Amino acid sequence: GQQLNQSPQSMFIQEGEDVSMNCTSSSIFNTWLWYKQEPGEGPVLLIALYKAGELTSNGRLTAQFGITRKDSFLNISASIPSDVGIYFCAGQRGGAQKLVFGQGTRLTINP
Amino acid sequence: NAGVTQTPKFQVLKTGQSMTLQCAQDMNHEYMSWYRQDPGMGLRLIHYSVGAGITDQGEVPNGYNVSRSTTEDFPLRLLSAAPSQTSVYFCASTRFDEQFFGPGTRLTVL
């Protein structure tokens, strides 16, 4: 089955640094979503993007829907310890159930 | 309002055993889904339902059955467990485009 190509797979950064991760696909998506998963929990939605070129912020998080509709990126500014977790992108082409997920980016922060 | 609940949280099975993973939501959402999460693979859709009495296959449906007799409940059945089904299973319910995930069931098949 198709999956999105998410990179990097892992990041080790210092507290206060900015973070950038992205997802690419060979297919077009109508919606891009970014989730965060903490240990022992299910993913939680961070940002949803609905239009090509859309740039949306949620606090220190900023995400963009690529113009080609085949990619998206997520930036986290001034990272803090609670940003630790796994970040997933997901693309939606048809109905609300049919999400395709990236492999995840594991973020580790050194205080 | 409990959101999405899943039971059990952990389960160990022997090859060939059957079991049902339970999922319930109290948000009156029509859409519900089951995913499995494997290391380095993200989440993959197993089955989904757009309402009571209606289910459909996702990306990796083989070895799993579902039914949806009520809006609230969406159980996932493993008919004959195999080691390849060792994974973490997440149930989700959807409102508009936002999926609410349960806490997951960690299943090990020996």
What the block records as the tokens of B64 is 């799993």
- Choose among B31, B90, B101: nearest Cβ to A96: B31
* Nearest chain B CA: its distance from A101 CA (Å): 6
Q: Contact B42/A44, CB-based, under 8 Å?
A: no
Q: Contact B101/A42, CB-based, under 8 Å?
A: yes
Return the residue of B nearest to A103 by Cα: B42
Chain B hits for A99, CB-CB cut-off 8 Å, are 43, 45, 99
What the block records as the tokens of A26 is 């060979």
pLDDT, position A19: 96
For residue range B44-101, what is the model confidence (pLDDT) as tens digits? Answer: 999 999 999 999 999 999 999 999 999 999 999 999 999 999 999 999 999 887 889 9
Put simply, the chain B residues between 25 and 54 with a CB less than 8 A from any chain A CB are 31, 33, 35, 40-45, 48-50
Scored b (16 or more CB within 10 A) or e, A69-80 reads: bbbbbbebeebe
Phi, psi of A82 (to 5 degrees): -75, -5
Q: Contact B31/A44, CB-based, under 8 Å?
A: no
pLDDT, position A95: 66
Partnered with residue B73 across adjacent β-strands are: B24
Partnered with residue B101 across adjacent β-strands are: B92
- Choose among A1, A97, A103: nearest Cβ to B31: A97
Residue ranges, chain A, pLDDT below 70: 1-2, 95-97
How far apart are alpha carbons B71 and B24 in whole angstroms? 9
